Copies of this chain bind each other. A is one copy, B any other.
Amino acid sequence: MLEESYKLLKEREIRITPQRKAILEILYDHRGEHLEIEDIHRMLSAGRGDTSRTGLATVYRAIELFQRVGLVYRLPMDNSPGRYEFIGPRAPDHHHLICLECGRVEEIDDRLVDGFKKRIMKAKGFTVSERPIKVYGYCRYCKKRP
């Protein structure tokens, strides 16, 4: 997965620096979590390689880059610092139903989501991004209110 990510960067003629590598690795190692820039920076600083003096600005710049090429995605936070998550080079359709009661997470069938996307495209000319869709509600076990 990381190798494929580097390959993607190469293809786009984006230079792979030790800092970028280190940042991507951290994101990768924390798949499923949602890291703040600060977290990443702290982890870099804690390391003892040559990347331990990576500046905050560099982290911001790398993350912004990864977002642009689709390797990383930013959770929409209200006013708090941004949180980022590794997605990987092959946008894995990764759509989830999240139960507000018990936290259970289920996958949504991609075809179902694709149909939805297509309808949006048709109705609005709006291209839905590849980022994972999250739908909140109540699972069959916790079903309570609508």
Contact = CB atoms under 8 A, between A and B. Distances in A.
Interface of A: 70, 74, 76-79, 82, 97-100, 106, 108-109, 112, 115-116, 119-120, 123-131, 133-140, 143, 145-146
Contacts of A112: 116, 119-120, 123
A66 to B, nearest CB: 14
A34 B21 CA distance: 39
Contact of A100 (B106, B129, B134): B129
B143 A120 contact: no
Contact of A124 (B108, B115, B128, B134): B108
A137 B146 contact: no
Contacts of A120: 97, 108, 112, 135, 137
Contacts of A78: 74, 76, 82
